A and B are shown apart, each in its own frame.
Chain A
Amino acid sequence: MNKKEFIDELCKRLRKTPADEAERTVNYYSEAIDDRIEDGMTEEEAVAALGSIDDIVREVIGQSAADEKGETADNRETEIKRVRKNYVVDPAGVNTVNVTETNGSVELAKSPDGRIHFRVTEDKNLSYSVRKEKGVVIIRKETRRIGFAALGISFPIDLGMTESRIKVELPDNFAPFIDVKTGSGDISGTVGAAQGLFAGTGSGDISLKGVASGKTTLTSASGDVEVLDLTTNEAEISTVSGDLSMKRCAAESMKLKTVSGGISGKEIYADKKLIVNTVSGDIDINMESPLELGSFESTSGDISLSLYGCESDYSVSAKSITGKVGAPNGNESAGRAIRVRTASGDIDVFCEV
């Protein structure tokens, strides 16, 4: 094990230990490694000379439990007290709700009493701050962190609960801009009316329903995105490696994008524009409204479309390089163009007259 690995592991194991104690311990052992390296040992030898991490952690945990209880009991884990909190904000004058989590999840729900509630659980290493500033309400996670440097790199370590969660309750008839971000948590719940909605997560899933919003942007890097009952002017929904699945979604214009995940849409209403794009995922879209402009592209996935008849002119193109394209059906009429292309896949076209 090298120094970085050792320190990482030690930090991980000391997560439940009070922050100052954990920081002191990490510094102590970091120094002990440096001193041995300076004395001629290799990094690995220096780490090995410290003995087992189990012993180190046992001594620290035993001691800090003993410190707290004022006795000298060994091997007793420190219990961290957790407190449920509800931050209540008057929605008057508020036009934006901004939620910033790091690794926790965010759930949206309806408020029971016309006020904004942020329900969270805190402990001594984890708290939230809520601010109201020029019409913007911001809830932010404040974790106590220890920072230490090893090999010239600094590592911030969160000492709070490994799993945290914010439940955001918004009143009816409020309709703010909602801006929700989390690094690795999920975003879920019922949104209700919003001037605009942005929800972004790095590795979490997004699962939202009952959204009535101006512009809607949902994005995840590796999680799945699932939307049920969406009404919006403009939707941009994307995930890199997760699947994207939409049901009963209506927008004037809609962009759906993944790289490797599949895109599935049931009961889609997009009267102006629908752009669907993936590299290796399959596309399966079922339209319930006429479509003026539609573009469906997958490089290697299959495409399956079911289109709704249209009175006016429309243009739909479906393109896959190696996948199979099954599309589109629709009434024939002058001025309508349906282009279906695949380089090596099969094409199925059904036209109902």
Chain B
Amino acid sequence: MDSQLRRGVLDVCVLRSLCDGDSYGYQIIKDISPYLTLSESTLYPILKRLEAMGCLRVYSVEHSGRLRKYYGITETGRERIKEFLTEWEEIMRAYAYIKEAER
């Protein structure tokens, strides 16, 4: 997949995984894994980018004697998902149009 496109899709998948509740790195990877392969080295910059965009809030919780970073989706994050779905409809229309030529 085109890297720009893939990045956009992954961003939204991560946001989607947080719609079911706040989560942490490893859990996010496990939740997404049935749909997409995602490695820690891919997830880390995504989380950073989403945080910088204000799509996530980040906080630490003590967990068995150490700190674990949790990520939660913000309003901006939810907006981003909506935007993506709208954009995607347009892409789907383009897809249908492209596909027509194949027939």
What residues make up the interface of A, taking CB atoms closer than 8 Å to B? 25, 27-29, 31-32, 34-36, 38-39, 49-52, 55-56, 58-60, 62-63
Contact = CB atoms under 8 A, between A and B. Distances in A.
Contact of A51 (B24, B27, B40, B68): B40
Contacts of B41: 50-52, 55-56, 58-59
B27 to A, nearest CB: 8
Q: Is the interface of A mostly helix, strand, loop or mixed?
A: helix
A28 B45 contact: no
B68 A60 contact: no
- In which size bucket is the chain B interface? 10 to 19
6 contacts: A28-B44, A29-B44, A31-B69, A51-B39, A51-B41, A59-B41
A29 B66 CA distance: 13
Nearest to B46: A59
Contacts, number: 50
B76 interface: no
Contact of A50 (B39, B45, B49, B68): B39
Contacts of B24: 31, 35
A32 B44 CA distance: 10
Interface in B49-103: 49, 64, 66-69
Given A25-B44, A59-B44, A60-B44, A31 B39 contact: no
Contacts of A28: 25, 40, 44, 69
Contacts of A55: 39, 41
Contact of A39 (B26, B64, B66): B26
B56 to A, nearest CB: 14
B1 to A, nearest CB: 16
Give the most central of B41, B44, B49, B69: most A CB within 10 Å.
B41
Contacts of B69: 27-28, 31
Interface in B17-42: 24-27, 39-42
Nearest to B49: A63
